Amino acid sequence: MRILIVDDEPLARARLRTLVAELGMAGVEVVGEAVDGVDAILAHESAPVDVILLDIAMPRMDGLEAARHLAALENPPAVVFCTAFDEHALAAFEAHAVDYLVKPVARERLRIALERARKFTVDQVRRIGDEVKTQSRSHICARIRGSLRLVPVGEIAYFLAEDKYVVVHHDAGEVLIEESLKTLEEEFRGRFVRIHRNCLVAVDRITALERTSDGGTHALVRGAALPLEVSRRCLPAVRELIKHL
């Protein structure tokens, strides 16, 4: 059983590595470490593991969001949360992982968690991942030529629906994702606004609205190569948002 340890604190990672070694479980080894959720996802993608010992409170991407992305992968790992939250807070996370451990982690409690993780099938791990509910994501996960790309939401100018895909236009280019515009609109409500039936724009990137010669309206969006059309139906809501920028 291959294990990845994810925690932004070096001492916490070192302690977990030591505990796993002290357990002396046959076929169990720590094969890597990561400092946050983004690194965890990329590490698993490049060298898949069976179990991830995952901290919750981390910078850049926390453990809950990382678990959500990991569960969507073709071969998701079993996730065991390791957290300093007290047991009352942990009740909210119980359904989101194979197990959870409270810091400081006890050696025998870790053994129980790893033995439990060993018994879980990929389908069981996926079902657990489907239950993960977090606040809106900090990153959008896309696959490019077989490799994962994590795009920070703060770098996205707009989402554009094209056929069965959504094109994510961001500061470093564009990627395709298989998510619906409606789902994205609901998740990022207040941060992105629908300006057309096929387009969501980052509110803080709209610099102006301009009338066109045919009576239509375009939005000038920082990061967009061309003005984007605003439909008559969406115009009142967009105008209202502009007033408060």
174 with 64, same domain: the answer is no
Interacting residues of 69 by C-beta distance below 8 A, sequence separation 6+? 37, 41, 137, 139, 141, 150
Among 87, 110, 130, identify where a domain stops.
130
Domain end (from 130, 164, 185)? 130
- Counting the structural domains of the chain, the total is 2
Regarding whether 232 and 121 lie in a shared domain, the answer is: no
Q: Is residue 20 helix, strand or coil?
A: helix
The residue that leads in pLDDT, 129 or 213, is: 213
pLDDT of residue 195: 97
In tens, the pLDDT along 157-197 reads 999 999 889 999 999 999 999 999 999 999 999 899 999 99
In a shared domain, residues 23 and 112? yes
**Domain around 85:** 2-130
Q: Name the average pLDDT for the chain.
A: 90
* DSSP-assigned letter for residue 75: S
pLDDT band at 83 (very low <50, low <70, confident <90, very high): confident
Lowest model confidence (mean pLDDT) among 6-15, 62-71, 202-211, 225-234: 62-71
Q: Do residues 145 and 35 share a domain?
A: no
